[in-house]
């Protein structure tokens, strides 16, 4: 019988009590953490990918977003409970390490790192396409290179520079989508002049084939299309480790997740499907948000949305590089990655972890340009279900860590999962159901995404178990000697 894992106490870095990981510094201010928490849940996928979800489920896509949003709220509550009790740059990976064993922390940490490295390539390419449209003299690959280099420099400078960059770019996202909701809402209820009242209105929710024009099953298909746009909600729990008051930052981010999802996701999609009929051709041709802006008579709607998407892309790139490097740093600290990853500069920056993540990001960008339909498609699909794997690991970690925290330090339970353990088990069951349903989806590559992601996950788990066995053998040998 294995011994129960114990909670670890936060350590002090060279600059004083900067967070739980030696070497990292408390360079993130409260306003940085607040905007990272608010903006982190708004990915470029919301602006770019929502049109396919609307075409699939009609107005019922609101139910898809509500279902996934509820799941994310539950998962974030579990993560908030664990992270408030023991803030760490490794977040859920470190929690899985303590709750489920080193193999779990190793596996979920490397899978998460792999996910964000691939995201770097996706976002860099998306941003490069927009910039090339504005300044065609610079080739697309050149813009991708420029964007990656600038953001690498930002992350290498200090965690404060990352926080400042993210504060302003996430702020643009937040202001833009808030303005869209307010203006669009006024138009829907007939308060805004100059809008085609025959097209805008609550009637769009039930007309044109009804609220569920393709049946209730389309809501589940919609879930598959929107679930990955929520990835990033967990970033505040990683960033909190480099704030002045990690416990307060985690608690605040966890408690605010409900209204953030309700306003930014459900609110903006509600405006889109009430401004225009869900089957409007303009949604397919222009994208949901551009079509909605066009219907309001706003000039240059496409360019405005391109600017907003670009800020979202840059924000996602910045956070992706930060998140990948901090996960690599945490893996290095636990002996699951090269020791160099755990070293920091005098400014508290894990330089080797950042540069290694960037190198693999550049490799992925290269594959995206040279082999988009083979190598890069494999990378994309094999990392696609990682979000669900991470959420599942959070569920099982919380089930075990709650008992450990209650036994050792109950005062650290400043955030508690609701209706424990029933809602935790319910969330885990929903995640397993979504993974199973994806196996039936051949139209949107759901099956290939799950199968390839499971293949990569299985390989990583095998490596983790072999490493754990070797470590145990060496430890036993040293004990005997």
The per-residue pLDDT for 6 is 42
Structure confidence at residue 9 as a pLDDT band (50, 70, 90):
very low
Query: What pLDDT score was predicted for residue 189?
Result: 85
Tokens coding 212 = 């569920």
Rounded CA gap, 293 and 311, in Å? 18
**125 backbone dihedrals φ, ψ, rounded to 5°:** -70, -40
Stated pTM of the model? 0.89
pLDDT at 382 over 60: yes
Q: What is the DSSP string of 367-424?
A: HHHH-TTTHHHHHHHHHHTHHHHHHHHHHHHHHHHHHHHHHH-GGG-SS--TTTTHHH
Q: Is the pLDDT of residue 372 over 80?
A: yes
At 437-464, the pLDDT tens digits run 989 888 878 899 999 999 999 999 999 9
Residues 206-221 have a mean pLDDT of 90
Beta-ladder partners of 28: 243
Tell whether omega for the bond before 472 is within 30 degrees of 0, i.e. cis. no
Q: What percent of the chain has pLDDT over 70?
A: 93
Tell me the chain's radius of gyration from C-alpha atoms.
22
pLDDT digits (tens, 9 = 90+) for 242-251: 888 888 888 8
Yes or no: say if 359 and 149 are a contact pair by the CB < 8 Å rule.
no
Answer whether residue 291 shows pLDDT above 70.
yes
């Amino acid at each position: 019988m294995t011994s129960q894992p114990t909670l670890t106490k936060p350590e002090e870095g060279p600059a004083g009590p900067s967070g739980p990981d030696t070497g990292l510094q408390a360079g993130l201010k409260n306003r940085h953490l607040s905007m990272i928490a608010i903006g982190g849940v708004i990915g470029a996928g919301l602006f770019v990918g929502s049109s396919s979800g609307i075409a699939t489920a009609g107005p019922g896509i609101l139910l898809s977003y509500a279902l996934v949003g509820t799941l994310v709220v539950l998962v974030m509550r579990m993560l908030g409970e664990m992270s408030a009790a023991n803030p760490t740059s490794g977040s859920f990976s470190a929690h899985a390490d303590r709750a489920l064993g080193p193999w779990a922390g190793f596996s979920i940490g490397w899978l998460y790192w792999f996910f964000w490295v691939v995201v770097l390539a996706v976002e860099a390419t998306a941003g490069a396409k927009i910039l090339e449209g504005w300044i065609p003299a610079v080739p697309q690959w050149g813009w991708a290179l420029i964007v990656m280099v600038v953001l690498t420099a930002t992350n290498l400078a200090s965690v404060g520079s990352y926080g400042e960059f993210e504060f302003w770019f996430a702020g643009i996202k937040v202001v833009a989508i808030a303005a869209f909701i307010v203006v669009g809402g006024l138009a829907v209820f007939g308060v805004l002049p100059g809008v085609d009242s025959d097209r805008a209105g609550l009637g769009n929710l039930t007309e044109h084939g009804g609220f569920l024009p393709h049946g209730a099953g389309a809501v589940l298909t919609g879930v598959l299309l929107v679930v990955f746009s929520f990835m990033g909600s967990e970033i505040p729990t990683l960033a909190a480790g480099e704030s002045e008051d990690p416990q307060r930052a985690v608690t605040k981010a966890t408690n605010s997740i409900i209204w953030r999802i309700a306003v930014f996701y459900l609110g903006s999609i509600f405006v889109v499907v009430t401004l225009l009929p869900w089957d409007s051709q303009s949604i397919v041709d222009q994208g949901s948000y551009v079509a909605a802006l066009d219907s309001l008579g706003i000039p240059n709607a496409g360019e405005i949305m391109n600017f907003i998407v670009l800020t979202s892309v840059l924000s996602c790139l910045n956070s992706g590089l930060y998140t990948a490097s901090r996960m690599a740093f945490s893996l290095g600290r636990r002996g699951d990655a090269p020791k160099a990853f755990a070293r920091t500069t005098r400014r508290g920056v894990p330089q080797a972890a950042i540069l290694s993540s960037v190198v693999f990001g550049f490799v992925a960008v290269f594959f995206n340009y040279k082999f988009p339909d083979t190598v890069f498609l494999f990378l994309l699909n094999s990392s696609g279900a990682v979000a669900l794997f991470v959420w599942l690991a959070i569920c099982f970690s919380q089930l075990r860590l709650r008992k450990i925290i209650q036994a050792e330090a109950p005062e650290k339970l400043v955030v508690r999962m609701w209706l424990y353990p029933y809602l935790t088990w319910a969330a885990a069951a929903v995640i397993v159901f979504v993974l199973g349903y994806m196996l039936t989806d051949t139209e949107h590559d759901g099956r290939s995404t799950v199968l390839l992601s499971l293949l990569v996950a299985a390989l990583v788990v095998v490596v983790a178990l072999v490493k754990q066995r070797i470590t145990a053998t060496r430890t036993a040998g040293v004990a005997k000697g």
